Amino acid sequence: MDPLSDILSLLRLRSYISGGFDAGGEFAVQFGPHEGIKFHAVVAGSCWVSLEDTTDPVRIHAGECFLLPHGKGFRISSDPAVKPIDLREILPPTPDGRIITYNGGGDFLSIGGYFSLAEGQANLLLETLPSLLHIREATDGEMLRWCVERLRKEMSDALPGDFVVAQQLAMMILVQALRSHQFRKPEAATGWLFALAEPRLRAAISAMHRSPGHHWTVETLAAEAAMSRTAFALLFKQVAGVSPMAYLTRWRMLKAAERLISSRQSLAEISSALGYESQKSFSATFKRIMLRSPRQYGREVADHASPPTSAMPPL
């Protein structure tokens, strides 16, 4: 499994389609704060997107998408000058997850949804993303346009299994968004996502992910990248924002967190599998990275776990 797939799997990422918005004429709708990563795919027309704490709206055209990773309230409009109404004012009494029509519809259509992430590990992805991620120059533009068009058909044609298909399409859009963002690396941005776009660093990260319990050193990781030790360490820190060994430690602790809640392995087994000869050393490192002891982490995640629900938040 490649590192990006590995991380998305670790985060237990799930996609949910929550409905569409079909507007006619002038419109402006205010959306409140949200959990997870909100996304909209613009199928027809165009809109302006304004975040609650920014002054510069962003224009989104048909065939493009935008993601909102940090839970901020936002507004979509035909013109930033139009006075907004609250989304709740136009929702039907019993939202069915289908397309809501406003002002007769016909001029603008978007499909909305969100991605949920594993409790306590969401920052691994969110910290690499801006407040608004505009997907317009994906590495494979045809794939993005195809996904958006298929979303429209699944939401409008009411075919059997349409929500399952739509959720998979949403996941494809997210991967396209991450690919686009990592290869368009913003100036001065750092993080593991951008390191994956550099082939030599990706080779070293892939090695860490394949064998997190191996006794890696900067030298052996530099060999995986086919670089000198010094050049590798400097490039890794410059692009990823952390040293190679700091990345390895964090990855080990995230893998440990996953095993604490999804396996029956003991602490001794987990620490040994991740390259620690001492359970005490492992526990101290886990607490430093995850801000709680391994046992406390397992209890807290179990306490916050809730059964899945079919009720999806609107748009």
Domains in the chain, ordered, with CATH? 12-183 (2.60.120.10), 192-302 (1.10.10.60)
Q: Looking at per-residue confidence, does 308 or 278 come out higher? A: 278
> With 0-12 CB in 10 A as exposed, 13-18 as middle and 19+ as buried, what is 266?
exposed
Q: Looking at per-residue confidence, does 306 or 294 come out higher? A: 294
Report pLDDT for 95. Answer: 55
Least-confidence region, from 107-116, 128-137, 192-201:
128-137
Name the pLDDT band for 204 (thresholds 50, 70, 90). Answer: very high
Mean pLDDT of 247-254: 95
Report pLDDT for 229. Answer: 97
| pLDDT single digits (tens) 18-68 | 788 999 999 999 999 988 899 999 999 999 999 987 768 999 999 888 999
The region that residue 279 occupies, defined by phi over 0 for left and psi between -120 and 50 for alpha, beta otherwise, is alpha
What distances in angstroms separate CA 78 from CA 26, 91, 123, 303, one per listed residue? 6, 19, 33, 43
Mean pLDDT of 8-17: 85
Report pLDDT for 93. Answer: 67
Give the Cβ contact number of residue 189 at 10 Å: 16
Report pLDDT for 314. Answer: 46
Report pLDDT for 83. Answer: 94
Mean pLDDT of 223-250: 97
Report pLDDT for 139. Answer: 56
Mean pLDDT of 172-188: 84
Name the pLDDT band for 150 (thresholds 50, 70, 90). Answer: confident
Mean pLDDT of the chain: 87
Report pLDDT for 307. Answer: 39
Report pLDDT for 218. Answer: 98
Q: Rounded to whole angstroms, how far apart are CA atoms 178 and 185?
A: 10
CA 76 from centre of chain: 21
Residue 170 has pLDDT above 80, yes or no: yes
Report pLDDT for 152. Answer: 82
Mean pLDDT of 206-235: 97
Report pLDDT for 301. Answer: 73
Name the pLDDT band for 155 (thresholds 50, 70, 90). Answer: confident
